[in-house]
Structure 1
Amino acid sequence: MMFRSLAFLLLVGLVAWAYQATQPPPPKICGSPDGPPITAPRIKLRDGRYLAYKEHGVSKQVAKYNIIFVHGFGSSRHDALIATQFSPELVEDLGVYIVSFDRPGYGESDPDPKRTVKSLALDIEELADQLGLGSKFYVVGYSMGGQVIWSCLQYIPHRLAGATLHAPVINYWWPGFPANLSTDAYYKQPPGDQWALRVAHHVPWLTYWWNTQTFFPSSSVIVGKPEIFSSQDLEIIRNVMVSGRENNKPQGKQQGEFESVHRDLMIGFGNWEFDPIEIKNPFPNNEGSVHLWQGDEDRLVPVELQRYIVGKLPWIHYHELPGSGHLFPYKDGMSEAVLKAMLTGGK
């Protein structure tokens, strides 16, 4: 009898420990007593959350073009590549206003535990309205931020003057992919990344535990293992470190990793309400254009899946960059080329 009681107590204790291990710590909300300070301008959204932003370029009052930039995985509003990679003179000449913002849970934007694929597109629309960017504006996104642009094309196409996707992250479970194509691409990832995405898709409530435990390999993207980068990427990383441009990187996850990078995995690789491969052309009369830029040596986003998507959506202007990896937007002159293509609508 005593043995059975001890076994029961041990089982209860094990279950309690396992449950506790899967629960992420509460986020350190900016402006709270134990959270980071608020230093950025912010808007209050429809549900009471705050969204932090940063302005670049000319003032809204004189701008000819208004652009909203969406940052990538583990980053923040400070990493607005299209705003920081070219000369102020060019921005002035073109009359470009750019606003970057911290996606929910990143930087100084409040977390959104109810975040969905659609909700971030609505956040972007509300940011544009509260900043007075007019009835139409441009959107640009990089990596996981590029994936967000699909949501804008689906849910707010009537608000877009144009859109650009830089190496947008692909969800291997989008139903439009042929099974053999997506499966082959999926298994080219390191085993740790295969498991991290498998967990995020099938058992998202285990995402925090999986990416913080030490028994099995977790996401190499979160850890930043060098093997996920191409030779060009590694050279770019060395140049960025020398220039000191990575100094703002820690601020992206300052409220905690669960509501930033972990929720990114859960949303980005979860079950989507729509399939990007079936999106309709938002500019049937060529009143705007959509551009997708992809390096053919990207080890994070499979080029073969990107080619399949643009093959199904011929209205997208596709720019494939030979010899380039995932970090190609950091290359000298790249942002200038992206900007000119987007604003002129050309290939």
Structure 2
Amino acid sequence: MREQVRTVDHVRTADGRLLRVECTGDPRGRPVFLLHGMPGSRVGPRPRSMFLYQRGAWLISYDRPGYGGSDRSPGRQVVDVVKDVTDVADALGIGRFAVAGRSGGAPHALACAALLPARVTRAAAMVGLAPRDAEGLDWFEGMAPSNVSEFRSAGRDPEGFAARLIPRSDAIRSDPVRLLDELRSELPDADRLIVSDTGIRTMLLLNYREALRISAYGWIDDVLALCRPWGFDPADIRVPVLLWHGEQDVFTPASHSSWLAARIPSATAVLDPEAAHFAAYSALPTVLGWLLTDPGAP
């Protein structure tokens, strides 16, 4: 356990940017970074602070560049998350930590696992994507038409994609219910049930509004980063990895986690046949329990 605990609202990165940070749970517990989805922010759905205290967990979230209160980093790659997580951990006086990523945050969690083996104890990637150039994977198979269109547009015409997403983002910022309404026709029944829960819905709307509070560029840069080479090879990961996915997911198909599981030597895949994309919220407490079992964690 750490003898001294530091808390911060912002962290200045090595290259001078500001990252907005939020910590919940037990400051003297085992640290776990939670990397949000897309679009998302540090205030995204997570277990209550009392739950985290009871399990001795300290949950650290921050806005990826361009989201919420964090400065943009144009042209960023997925691998660039490693520098930001390192800067946040150093500012908080954290040596070793676990990391979890949800949806668009999942590849970023894998980047930390790949490049910070001396600091990351365990990593979890929930409802995540495989690299865009994943050999042998039909990347778009089983993906909802809206996501297929978004990723194809970003890959073929990044400037046009950004120009179209900016007014859409502005509309969602003023009324975040619009994003859930846009997705409704593509949601499987399992996801419809989850987003109809008042508590989850309230957290999602707060999350979307904060994510897009300043601009659309966090979202834009996330999509572009996921369409480009990630900057690391998942096969190089050696720390324990949990890949959690709902088999009914139409936003990030479960085949992506299956592809990753076949290439990450240390990976355990959990595919829930009854779950879809938004079930990652209800699965998070179980995933946190797995992340906290490593005896070498602080």
TM-score using structure 2 length: 0.84
Maintained 8 Å contact 2:75/2:225: no
Please give the alpha-carbon distance, in whole angstroms, between the structure 2 residues aligned to 1:243 and 1:301.
Answer: 20
Maintained 8 Å contact 1:57/1:97: yes
Counterpart residue identity of residue 107, structure 1: G
User: What CA RMSD, in Å, does the superposition of the two structures yield over aligned residues?
Assistant: 2.6
Maintained 8 Å contact 1:290/1:342: no
Please give the alpha-carbon distance, in whole angstroms, between the structure 2 residues aligned to 1:222 and 1:116.
Answer: 27
Describe the shift of the 1:187–1:317 C-alpha distance in structure 2 as closer, same or farther (beyond 3 A): closer
Describe the shift of the 1:246–1:189 C-alpha distance in structure 2 as closer, same or farther (beyond 3 A): closer
Describe the shift of the 1:308–1:169 C-alpha distance in structure 2 as closer, same or farther (beyond 3 A): closer
Describe the shift of the 1:242–1:308 C-alpha distance in structure 2 as closer, same or farther (beyond 3 A): closer
Please give the alpha-carbon distance, in whole angstroms, between the structure 1 residues aligned to 2:182 and 2:31.
Answer: 33
Q: CA shift at 1:242, angstroms?
A: 7.5
Aligned residue number for residue 202 of structure 2: 244
Please give the alpha-carbon distance, in whole angstroms, between the structure 2 residues aligned to 1:95 and 1:130.
Answer: 21
Aligned residue number for residue 335 of structure 1: 284
Describe the shift of the 1:149–1:221 C-alpha distance in structure 2 as closer, same or farther (beyond 3 A): farther
Structure 1 residue 48 and structure 2 residue 16: aligned? yes
Question: Secondary structure of the residue that 1:193 maps to in structure 2?
Answer: helix
Describe the shift of the 1:119–1:131 C-alpha distance in structure 2 as closer, same or farther (beyond 3 A): same
- The structure with higher relative contact order (CA 8 Å, sep 6+) is 2
Percent identical residues:
23
Describe the shift of the 1:330–1:150 C-alpha distance in structure 2 as closer, same or farther (beyond 3 A): closer
Please give the alpha-carbon distance, in whole angstroms, between the structure 1 residues aligned to 2:179 and 2:142.
Answer: 14
Describe the shift of the 1:329–1:130 C-alpha distance in structure 2 as closer, same or farther (beyond 3 A): same
Q: How many residues align?
A: 278
Please give the alpha-carbon distance, in whole angstroms, between the structure 2 residues aligned to 1:144 and 1:73.
Answer: 5
Please give the alpha-carbon distance, in whole angstroms, between the structure 1 residues aligned to 2:237 and 2:26.
Answer: 33
Q: CA shift at 1:225, angstroms?
A: 2.1
Structure 1 residue 256 and structure 2 residue 221: aligned? no
Matches within 5 A, 1:136-175: 136-174=96-134
Matches within 5 A, 1:160-309: 160-174=120-134, 177-178=135-136, 181-182=137-138, 185-211=139-165, 224-240=182-198, 244-249=202-207, 250-257=209-216, 259-276=217-234, 278-282=235-239, 289-309=240-260
Please give the alpha-carbon distance, in whole angstroms, between the structure 1 residues aligned to 2:111 and 2:198.
Answer: 30
Counterpart residue identity of residue 97, structure 2: F
Counterpart residue identity of residue 165, structure 1: A
Please give the alpha-carbon distance, in whole angstroms, between the structure 1 residues aligned to 2:260 and 2:228.
Answer: 18
Please give the alpha-carbon distance, in whole angstroms, between the structure 2 residues aligned to 1:128 and 1:91.
Answer: 19
Describe the shift of the 1:103–1:160 C-alpha distance in structure 2 as closer, same or farther (beyond 3 A): same
Structure 1 residue 323 and structure 2 residue 284: aligned? no
Aligned residue number for residue 16 of structure 1: none
Maintained 8 Å contact 2:124/2:241: yes
Q: CA shift at 1:321, angstroms?
A: 1.1
Counterpart residue identity of residue 250, structure 2: R
Please give the alpha-carbon distance, in whole angstroms, between the structure 2 residues aligned to 1:224 and 1:133.
Answer: 40
Question: What stretches of structure 1 of length at least 5 have no aligned partner?
Answer: 1-39, 215-219, 283-288
Describe the shift of the 1:314–1:45 C-alpha distance in structure 2 as closer, same or farther (beyond 3 A): closer
Counterpart residue identity of residue 35, structure 2: V
Question: What stretches of structure 2 of length at least 5 have no aligned partner?
Answer: 1-7, 169-177
Q: CA shift at 1:222, angstroms?
A: 9.1
Deviation digits for residues 149-191 of structure 1 (CA, Å, limit 9, x no counterpart)? 12112222221011111111333323xx21xx41xx5154344
Structure 1 residue 129 and structure 2 residue 90: aligned? yes
TM-score using structure 1 length: 0.73
Q: CA shift at 1:322, angstroms?
A: 1.6
